[in-house]
Structure 1
Amino acid sequence: MPHIHKITLYPIKSLDGVEVQQAQITQGGALQWDRTFALYNAAGRTVNAKKYPDILKVRTNFDLENLKVSLSAEPDQITTFQLPDEQEKIAQFFSEYFGESIHMKQQLTSGFPDDDENSGPTLVSTATFVEVQKWFPSLSLDNLRKRFRANIELGDCDTAFWEDSLFSAPGTDTYFRLGEVPFIGKKPCARCTVPARDPFNSQNDKSFMQTFISRRKETFPSFANSAQFSHYYHLCVNTIIPASASARLVMIGDIVVFE
C-alpha cells in the first residue's frame, strides 16, 4: 500500500535538506523545521536558486536534535552555527559569500512555503522519480530528489505519478490521511527554472525543461485531472494540513488512506 517512504525537511529555505523519521505538524500546517528560516537581500527579496544560483554550491548539514547547522562553501572549510541564536552570523556567512548584504528571518508557525495558499508539505512518489530518471539517465535518483525538493516521498505506489490521484478538479478538494494527520490535496506543483540546475554545482541544463515537458505529456496518466495542468512542467502535489492537526506526527511507514 502507498505509504511514507521518506520525509525531508529544508530548515533554511533553498539550502540542502535533512531526512528525518518523523515530523510534527505546526499550528500553521507545516512540518516543524521545514523552511523555518529564509535568507533575504537588502531589497527584501528572497535569496533562492532562481535569483542566486550559486547558493546551490553551498553544502549544508543539519543537526536538528541540537539545532545546529554546518555550512561549507569550500570542501575544507566548514563552519557550524547554533539555531536560532546565531542567525546574524549565518547572514554574515552568506553576505561574504555573495558579496552583498544578506539578512535572515524565521517563521516558526508556518515557515516560508513556496505556495502561500497551499502551504502544506509537497508530496511525490518514488515511482515518479524512477520514471523521470529514465528521461535523464545521467542523473541519479538522489540528484532528482534534490532538484524537486519534495517533503514527503511515497513508496509502494503501483504507477508513476500516482500522487496525481491526490488532487481532483480545480476548486475541489481531495481528502486523505497519512497516519493520524489529515491532508487536503489541492493541485500539482508548477515548477520554476531551478530544477534545470544541478543541485551540487548549479550548472544549468538548457534542455532539461523541454525534455521534461515532452516526456511528461507522453506519460501523462489517465487518472490525472488534466484541467489542473495549464502546461506539463508540473511535479509533486501541493497540499494543506488543517489547523486541527497541530502537534500530530507524520512518520515513515504511515499509509495513505482516502477519506
Structure 2
Amino acid sequence: MPTIAELTLYPIKSCAGIALREAVVTPAGLSHQFIYDREWMVVDNTGRFLTQREYPKMALIQPAIRSDMLVLRAPGMLQLEIPLDLPAPEQSRTLQVQVWDDTVTAYDCDAVTATWFSNAVGTPCRLVRFHADAKRLASKKWTGDVDVPTLFADGYPMLLISTASLDDLNGRLQAQGRSALPMNRFRPNIVVSGIEAYEEDYAETFDITGKDGSIVLKPVKPCPRCPMPSVDQASGEFGPDPMDILQTYRANSLVDGGITFGMNMIVTAGEEQLLRVGDQVDVQLAF
C-alpha cells in the first residue's frame, strides 16, 4: 500500500527545510506549530525575492522551531531567534515585495535580522514575513478556476514526488557513473512511497487515510525544474547538475517543453487535518 514517506516544511523560501513526522494540511500548504510553509522570504533592497538559484549558500541557513521562536543557524554565524508572534499593528513595518510576477504586502523584520541574513547570504538583503492581510493565489489556469491561496511558494501550496521517481533518475545517473542524488535536491513537501515511478504525473487525486480523517490532495501542474536541483543542500555549492539527464526524458508539452519532476498539489478535502508519515495513500489515476 502506498504511504507517506516524508514530510518537509520550508519556513523560509529557499532556505533549508524541517523534516516532520506530522503536519497540518491547510489550503495554503503544510503547517506545523502555526508556522506555514514559505511564510518568510529573503528579499533584496528593492523587495525582490532571492533564491538558491543565485545564492546557493541559502541552503545552509537551517531553521528550527523552539517554543515561540524560529531559531536560525548558518555556518560561522551566531544563532538568530525570531519571535513567532505577529507584530502589533502599531509596531509593524511593512514592505511591498515581489515573488515572480506577484507583488504583496509583507512584514519587514528588524535591522538585526537584515544584517544577519546579509552576512549569511553574502549580499545586502532583508527577511520579510507574509502579511496577515495579504492575498496571493495560485494560477487559476491550473487550479480549475478555483481560488487557491499560497504564501511565498513559487506558485502552489505543496509539491509531491514519489520515491520511485527519484530512484529512476538515480538509476540513470549511476548508469553513467555519476552519484545518486538525495530527495532534498528537489525540495518536495510530501514524498510518497509504494507507487510506480512518475505515477504522480497521472494521478487524479491522492486520497490519504489519517488517524483524524481523510485528506484529498489533487495534482494540478507538473513542476518545471529550474537550476536549483544542481545545488548541493549540504554544501551550498553548485553541482553536480541532473538537468542534462532529466532533459533527455522529462520534457513536458503541458508546460511548453519544460523539464518537469514532481507535481504541484492543492487540497480539496481534509483541510486542517493532520497528515502523518506512514499514513496510507490511495492513488486515483486520471484515466
* Offset at residue 36 of structure 1 (A): 1.3
Q: State the alpha-carbon separation in 2 of the partners of residues 257 and 94 from structure 1.
A: 42
The match for 1:96 among 108, 114, 119 is 119
Q: State the alpha-carbon separation in 1 of the partners of residues 130 and 83 from structure 2.
A: 10
Report the equivalent of 1:30. Answer: 29
Identity of aligned residues (%): 24
* Offset at residue 8 of structure 1 (A): 0.7
> In the alignment, residue 82 of structure 1 is paired with which amino acid?
I
Structure number with the bigger relative contact order (C-alpha 8 A, sep ≥ 6) is: 1
> In the alignment, residue 79 of structure 1 is paired with which amino acid?
Q
* Offset at residue 146 of structure 1 (A): 1.8
Distance 1:140 1:207, change over 3 A: closer
The match for 1:68 among 67, 70, 92 is 70
1:1-259 to 2 correspondence within 5 Å?
A: 1-26=1-26, 28-32=27-31, 33-56=36-59, 58-63=60-65, 66-74=68-76, 77-84=77-84, 87-88=109-110, 89-97=112-120, 98-106=122-130, 110-115=150-155, 119-137=156-174, 138-141=178-181, 144-157=182-195, 159-166=196-203, 174-179=204-209, 180-205=214-239, 208-216=242-250, 227-228=253-254, 230-231=256-257, 233-242=259-268, 245-258=270-283
* Offset at residue 78 of structure 1 (A): 4.0
* TM norm structure 2: 0.71
Q: Secondary structure at the match of 1:128?
A: helix
Q: State the alpha-carbon separation in 1 of the partners of residues 242 and 12 from structure 2.
A: 26
The answer (yes or no) to whether the contact 1:29–1:246 under 8 Å persists in 2 is no
> In the alignment, residue 250 of structure 1 is paired with which amino acid?
L
Q: State the alpha-carbon separation in 1 of the partners of residues 193 and 66 from structure 2.
A: 25
Q: State the alpha-carbon separation in 1 of the partners of residues 162 and 232 from structure 2.
A: 21
Distance 1:34 1:107, change over 3 A: farther
Normalized per residue, which structure has more helix?
1
Distance 1:21 1:206, change over 3 A: closer
The Cα RMSD (Å) is 2.6
Report the equivalent of 1:223. Answer: none
Report the equivalent of 2:144. Answer: none
Q: State the alpha-carbon separation in 2 of the partners of residues 12 and 196 from structure 1.
A: 19
Gaps of 5+ in 2: 88-108, 133-148
* Offset at residue 24 of structure 1 (A): 0.8
| Offset from partner CA, 1:187-238 (integer Å, 9 cap, x none) | 2110111112222334334763222211547xxxxxxxx6535336110111
The answer (yes or no) to whether the contact 1:135–1:212 under 8 Å persists in 2 is no
The answer (yes or no) to whether the contact 1:39–1:91 under 8 Å persists in 2 is no
Q: State the alpha-carbon separation in 2 of the partners of residues 78 and 232 from structure 1.
A: 40
Q: State the alpha-carbon separation in 1 of the partners of residues 25 and 202 from structure 2.
A: 23
Normalized per residue, which structure has more strand?
2
